Amino acid sequence: MNSSFFFILLITIQLSGGFVFSQFQDSLKDRFKERQPFLNVLKINPLPIVWGSVPFTSEYRVVLEYVTGSQQSSQVSIAYLAKNWMFKLDTSVAAEGLIIRGFRFQGTFKFYMNNSMPVLANLINDNPYAPLGPYLAPHVSFATAKITYDYWNSRYYYIRGNQFNVALLAGYQFTILNVIAVDLFTGLGYKNNEWITREANKITKIDLRKELGDGWLIRNYVGPIKTYLGFNIGVVY
């Protein structure tokens, strides 16, 4: 499976969808303005700053969800991956000069279940329209991070981690005081995590089980099953 192809395809779909639905939102505002005062949610998650999705990174993430129909929305997340804060506190020789940089892109299409689950839909917010209530959502994510040193980088030597996954999420989004949005979700899917080294023009795939052992953490990391349990929090507008 070519993860780069799916990543580029996702960006194209999201950007083209955002252009079309930015115009469509004008008509949605007129239609829902009395019962749905907001159509966008801007969210963050502070936990990945402590430990990012790619090992050894801190992830600075911004999430934008925009309504595309009475029971649908699209969600785009962009994140910058930097050297984990623990390395910044480390004054050892090994941490000095360490460079870690990367990015992560996520795309989600949400289908809200307010019509089929009215009791759950009105559990917190009495508003049976997107972007509030229970939902199901196909989700795709691609992350990459480059690890090197000043000396290595000048000689085109580095280690890179690439992580691609697709999943089906189930979640529930609600607001507090019609201002603060809370998005809780879980999910299950497929993942492909790989690490490579580059030295000059030679690229070699790293066998993590061979290099780090066959413990439970390594087996879970390199295995194909991806699980989600998370949240985002933000503001509506």
Residue that has been written with the tokens 């990391």 in this structure: 221
Which residues are CB-contacts of 92 (< 8 A; sequence separation ≥ 6)?
none
Q: Are 154 and 88 in contact (CB under 8 A)?
A: no
- Whether residue 131 is preceded by a cis peptide bond, meaning omega within 30 degrees of 0, is yes
Query: Of 8, 219, 208, which Cα lies nearest the Cα of 105?
Result: 8
CA distance 73 to 89: 41
Q: What is the pLDDT of residue 1?
A: 46
Question: What does the pLDDT look like over 2-61, one tens digit per residue?
Answer: 555 555 555 555 555 555 555 555 566 666 655 677 899 999 999 999 999 999 999 999
DSSP of the chain:
--HHHHHHHHHHHHHHHHHHHHHHHHHHHHHHTTT----EEEEE-SHHHHS-SSTTEEEEEEEEEEEEETTEEEEEEEEEEEE-HHHHH--STTTTTEEEEEEEEEEEEEEE-TTT-HHHHTSS-S--STTSEEEEEEEEEEEEEEEEEHHHHTTTEEEEEEEEEEEEEEEEEEEETTTEEEEEEEEEEEEEEEEEEEETTEEEE--HHHHH-S-HHHHHHHSSEEEEEEEEEEEE-
Query: Of 147, 160, 17, which Cα lies nearest the Cα of 76?
Result: 17
Range in 21-25, 79-83, 184-188 the model is least confident about: 21-25
73, amino acid identity: S
Q: Are 123 and 91 in contact (CB under 8 A)?
A: no
Question: What does the pLDDT look like over 114-166, one tens digit per residue?
Answer: 988 887 877 788 788 899 999 999 999 999 999 999 877 777 899 999 999 99
Question: Within the chain, what is the greatest distance between any pair of CA atoms?
Answer: 62
Torsion of CA 13, 15, 16, 22, to 10 degrees: 130
Residue that has been written with the tokens 């910044």 in this structure: 88
Average pLDDT, the chain: 87
Q: What is the pLDDT of residue 87?
A: 85
